[in-house]
């Protein structure tokens, strides 16, 4: 699974016209991108092993793509515009912004764009940008979201969405509580699903090209 999701991360960037990967203001070389992709894959897979949720590793990765474009130093767009920051903040810039946040004026930041300062148990701004810490925090909550969904809507509840022909149940959409804090959000489901389909389609195209090249090589 780690190898599969490592390829998924790289395919996600390829699907965006081959755009390079920037994280915390740093542009990765192809080799650095491969290493970092493996780290992202390992983090989501291990978190899902500790906190099982249906297809959880892939949903976590898609949520990271949707929320921060796989950039742990991302800050909410409105905040970047207000402060005159560029699209890709450095870690120093992101930490400065988070340190200035208050409970009255919270800021979305980090790999999963969680509100900071946090509600409940406090943690420092460094943890807000920590990939493993934030993924673990979210993965721990996914099984609770699933239980909450089934308790609120019943195990047989079905949702229909314009984003898919599939009939959706709590196991498919419970993760969207991450976005709402309460109810099910089919729009968020559609956005996260789109990120997942991006890498799935790109990997399929790569497999088809490889198969075609093999046939040509055999014929030659």
* pTM reported for the whole predicted model: 0.90
Based on the fold, state whether residues 165 and 182 are members of the same structural domain. Answer: yes
Q: What tens digit of pLDDT does each residue of 182-203 get?
A: 889 999 999 999 999 999 999 8
Residue 218 lies in a domain: no
In a domain, 125, yes or no: yes
- For residue 161, whether the previous peptide bond is cis, meaning omega lies within 30 degrees of 0, is no
Question: Are residues 153 and 206 located together in one domain of the fold?
Answer: yes
Indicate if 84 and 138 belong to the same structural domain: no
Chain length of the chain: 220
Q: Are residues 135 and 61 in the same domain?
A: yes
Instruction: For the chain, count helices (H), then strands (E).
Output: 10, 6
What is the enclosing helix (H) or strand (E) of 93? helix 91-99
**Residue 64 shares a structural domain with residue 103:** no
- Name 94's Cβ contacts closer than 8 Å, sequence gap at least 6: 24, 73, 74, 75, 109, 125, 129
In a domain, 191, yes or no: yes
**93 shares a domain with 44:** no
Q: Write down the pLDDT at residue 43.
A: 98
Q: Report the domain count for the chain.
A: 2
pLDDT range class, residue 220, cuts 50, 70, 90: low
107-109 and 26-27 strand pairing: unpaired
* Percentage, residues of the chain above pLDDT 90: 67
Domain hosting residue 120, numbered range: 73-129
Same domain, 34 and 113: no
Q: Flag the least confident range among 42-51, 119-128, 143-152.
A: 119-128
């Amino acid at each position: 699974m780690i190898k599969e999701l490592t390829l998924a991360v790289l395919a996600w960037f390829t699907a965006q016209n081959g755009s390079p990967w920037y994280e915390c203001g740093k542009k990765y070389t192809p080799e650095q991108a491969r290493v970092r992709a493996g780290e992202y894959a390992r983090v989501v897979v291990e978190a899902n092993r500790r906190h099982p949720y249906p297809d959880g590793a892939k949903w976590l990765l898609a949520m990271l793509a949707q929320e921060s474009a796989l950039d742990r130093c991302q800050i909410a767009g409105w905040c970047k515009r207000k402060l005159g920051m560029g699209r890709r903040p450095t870690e120093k810039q992101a930490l400065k912004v988070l340190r200035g946040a208050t409970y009255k004026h919270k800021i979305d930041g980090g790999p999963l764009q969680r509100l900071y300062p946090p509600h409940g148990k406090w943690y420092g701004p460094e943890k807000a940008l920590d990939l493993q810490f934030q993924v673990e925090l979210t993965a721990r909550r996914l099984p609770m979201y699933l239980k909450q969904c089934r308790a609120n809507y019943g195990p047989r509840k079905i949702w229909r969405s314009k984003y898919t022909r599939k009939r959706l149940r709590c196991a498919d959409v419970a993760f969207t509580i991450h976005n709402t804090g309460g109810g099910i959000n089919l729009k968020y489901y559609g956005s996260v699903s789109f990120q997942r389909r991006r890498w799935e389609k790109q990997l399929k195209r790569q497999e088809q090209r490889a198969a075609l090249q093999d046939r040509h090589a055999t014929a030659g």
